[in-house]
Every structure is written in structure tokens, then in C-alpha cells.
Structure 1
Amino acid sequence: MPATNETTLTRWQFFTATEAETVDAVCARIFPSGDGKPGARETKVITYMDRTTANEEEALRRCYRDGVEALNALTCELYGQRFAKLSDEHQDEVLERVEASTAAESTGAPEGPEDEGLLTTFFALVWEHTIQGMFCDPQYGGNHEALGWQLVGFPGAQWGYDAEQMRPGFDSKTIPIKTLEDLRRELRRADA
């Protein structure tokens, strides 16, 4: 039986399967895994983005839909296939082109085609949501198993810190990571 990508098994709240595949591929280039460290895929950033976008206003959802369409149109024109099907190298080339378009806009250089403006906005949105999904509380769908917090040594949701833990230079990685759900369980046990 062929290996199955987890995203193909997910029932999406907002994204279509193709949109999810494309956005997930962009996220994986923004925050790749490597050297045993988790990236956007391992922390399930795409799940966070899908849940968040499903509950957002139409303008944001339209930006995702139109952005994915424009990105895939660009990569089909350049390489003959959708973004998610490209090699990492070609994906990086495309995203660098979009970033260069962003830099040109901020310096007042003449703008490119209309789709480049859309892609600039789309890429900025995906970038922001990728970072949010990497480090949010896991209850929101990203930061699976608190992998993002482990990556940066953040202890998550805590009731507070003692004097030793507040001392400069204290290694926060020694504090057990807690999520909001962990705190809720503690409260339920205390109330029982």
C-alpha cells in the first residue's frame, strides 16, 4: 500500500485538499524541519491554519483561495506543475521571487503583474499563520505535542514561576511543559 500523506486523510473545515496541500508545502518551506528538529509539518501548522481560516472573515478566506490559485498558476507557467509538486529547490525559487516582489513594493519600485501583489499578500498571510501555528497552544490545532515550544524551550501555560525560575540564565527547558488543557485538568482535580 502506498504511503499516505496525513493531509490527504484530514477532513478540512475550510481548505480543499489541493489548497491544503499547497499551503502545507509553503509552510514547510517557511519553517522546514531538519537536523532532528520539527518544522511546520511536524507541528501540524496546516491544521491550525485550516481551523483559524474557517472562522475568519470572507476577505481573509478569499486571500487564501485566490493566493493558492495564483501561486499554482505561476508554478504551472514556470515549471508545468502545481507548487506542492515542485522540488524544494524550485519551491524556494518561487517563494524568493514572491519575496523579491515584496521588497520591490516596499522600496517604491515599479510593481509587477497584479497576481504578484496578490501573491505578496498571500505569502505574508501564510508566513504569519505559520509562525502562529508553530507556537500557539496545541488546542488551536498547531504546535502538535508542544513540539514548537520544545524547540525554543518555552514551558507553555504555567500558573506562575518561582524565584529560581525567574532568575536570569535559568534554563526554562527544565520546567515541564503545560498546555491550557493541562491547566484545566489541574483545576478539575483541585475542584474534585
Structure 2
Amino acid sequence: MNKQEQPGTSRRQFLLSTTAVILLATAGKAGAVIIKGAAPWAPFDYSPPQTLEPGGWYFFTPQEAAAVEAIVERLIPADELSVSGKDAGCAEFIDRQLAGSFGTFERLYMQGPFQAGAPEQGDQSSLVPQQRYRVGLAGLESYCQDTFKQSFASLSADQRDKVLTGLQNGDIALKSIDAKLFFTTILTNTMEGFFADPIYGGNKDMVSWKMLGFPGARYDYRDYVEMHNQKIDLPPLSIAGRPEWKAKG
């Protein structure tokens, strides 16, 4: 057999054989762990919901909290269908979100460059949520004091609506922050707090879920998958269960 007839090892064959060796070695290690009686994963190792104990404010000052409660009360006013955003706990939801990773945009890239972009490019602000609320609420307080000689929380319902409409339309200028950005941020967070799981501080007593007829965070819906256009009379269920499930001390 001459040199041209001798079989050679191609690059592809080499890579395939190397990969097989690595896979076999890894499988052997995993099997050894299981044989020893230790599971190859840790129970509940899944980034559980970030929650804070009820009661008190974790980020807002008392003055800021009063303003936010007054805002969410007008963004979602009480009616025949549900309680207001304030009574549903939207301010508490926002406060706890700001005190956590959301407040600093911990999981987002925030190194810039920060430039004014087109609407379809989304949020381009360098301000993280904590800064947006702190600066925005300070600007709102300054505007209300200059215009009405009182804080936003002390205004009448009609006056609050007028101010919020001005922020939404950009007719009111706030110091150090775009009024529309501030309004959009707090409106979005208010809606999230109204419809989120109660474990996060809002949607108290699952009021919005009851209004919508949403059964909540149940484990299994297989018995109801084929029930199209039918009312499902299931009481809503939070991630943390239902209040009556908790043992009384």
C-alpha cells in the first residue's frame, strides 16, 4: 500500500471522536454522583421570587409614598368593579420593586452610550428606576408647590387628574427628568402591581384576579383546557397559596 492509499484521519473525524470522549467522561461523572446517592441538582435552585415583608416602606420616604399613593389612586380609581390602585397595594408593589434588582436595572446593560433615539428604539434613558422615581417625585413636588402651593397628595381629584394628564402629554416640565418618561414608568409599574401575584405586594386579596375571573397560579389546568368560552368558578390562587391556608398561631 503506497502513501496515497493509507487511510488518514480527517479533521471532522478527530473532532467527532474528541467530542465523544468528553461526553462519555461527563456521563461517567454524573452517573457516579447519582450512584453515591447525591442528586445532580439542588432542590429549589431556581431564582425564587424576590419578596419583602409587608408593612413599612423600603425605598420611598413618607412624603414620596404619599405622592405615589395619590398617583396610583387616580390612575386606577375605585369603581363598581374593583378597589382603587392605592387600596390594591400598587404603591407597596412599586416600593418593593424599587428596593430590589429592578430598582437599579441590575440585570440590564447600563453603560451607554445614552442618546435620544426614535420611539421604536425603546427606552434610552440613563436613569435607573430608583433615580426616575426619586428625581421625578421631587420634580412633581416642586411643580405642585409652585403652581398650587401644596403637595400633589393634597390636591383634589380633579387637580390630580389635570397634573397627570399634563405629565402624560408632556405639557408639564419636570426638573432633571422627562415628564413623559416619568409618567410612563409609574403608569406601567402601577398596572403591573394591580395585576401581579400578591406575593409581590400588590393585587391585595387578589382583587384584580377576582374581577377578571382569573384562577391564578394553579399547578394543573388540564381538566379545563377544553372548556372554551365557559366560566370557570375557581377561586384565585397566589404563588403563596390562599390566606385561609395559613396556620393560625
- The one-letter code matched in structure 1 to 2:80 is D
Distance 1:72 1:166 in 2: 53
Aligned residues: CA RMSD: 2.4
Residue 36 of structure 1 deviates from its aligned partner by: 5.7
Report the CA distance shift for 1:97/1:165 in structure 2 as closer, same or farther (over 3 A).
same
Task: Please state if 1:39 is matched with 2:84.
Answer: yes
Given the alignment of the two structures, is residue 71 of structure 1 paired with residue 140 of structure 2, yes or no?
A: yes
Structure 1, 112-121 or 46-55: larger mean CA deviation = 112-121
> By how many angstroms is 1:162 displaced?
3.6
Moved more, 89-98 or 34-43: 34-43
Task: Indicate yes or no: 2:74 matched with 1:14.
Answer: no
1:108-130, Cα deviation, whole Å (9 max, x unpaired)? xxxx7463953221111110110
Bigger relative contact order, structure 1 or 2 (CA pairs below 8 A, ≥6 apart): 1
1:57 matched residue in structure 2: 104
Residue 161 of structure 1: how far off its partner (Å): 1.7
SS at match of 2:178: helix
Alignment TM-score, normalising by the size of structure 2: 0.61
1:125 aligned residue = 185
Secondary structure of 2:84's partner?
A: coil
Distance 1:119 1:95 in 2: 10
Task: Name the SS of the counterpart of 1:157 in structure 2.
Answer: coil
- 2:144·2:151 contact (CA, 8 Å) conserved in 1? yes
Encode CA deviations 1:144-189: one digit per residue, 9 max, x unaligned: 11111112211111112244454221113x1121111129xx9xxx
Structure 1 residues 61 and 72: alpha-carbon distance in aligned structure 2, compared to 1, 3 A threshold = same
Q: TM-score, normalised by structure 1?
A: 0.78
CA–CA distance in 2 between the matches of 1:127 and 1:116?
19
Please state how far the C-alpha of 1:99 moved relative to its aligned partner.
1.3
Contact 1:101/1:116 (CA < 8 Å) preserved in 2? no
Q: Which has the higher helix share?
A: 1
Aligned residue runs from structure 1 range 1-192, under 5 A: 10-35=55-80, 37-55=82-100, 56-57=103-104, 59-101=128-170, 113=173, 115=175, 117-164=177-224, 166-172=226-232, 174-182=233-241
Mapped partners of 1:150, 1:26: distance in 2: 23
Q: Structure 1's 77 and 128: CA in aligned 2 closer, same or farther, altered over 3 A?
A: same
* Distance 1:82-1:114 versus aligned 2 partners, 3 A rule: closer
User: How many residues are matched?
Assistant: 166
Whether the 8 Å CA contact 1:70–1:119 is kept in 2: the answer is no
What is the rounded CA distance, in whole Å, between the counterparts of 2:226 and 2:202 in structure 1?
A: 28
Counting aligned pairs with the same residue, the percent is 27
Aligned-partner Cα distance in 2 for 1:162–1:60:
39
Aligned-partner residue type, residue 182 of structure 1: G
Distance in 1 (CA, whole Å) between partners of 2:84 and 2:215 is: 18
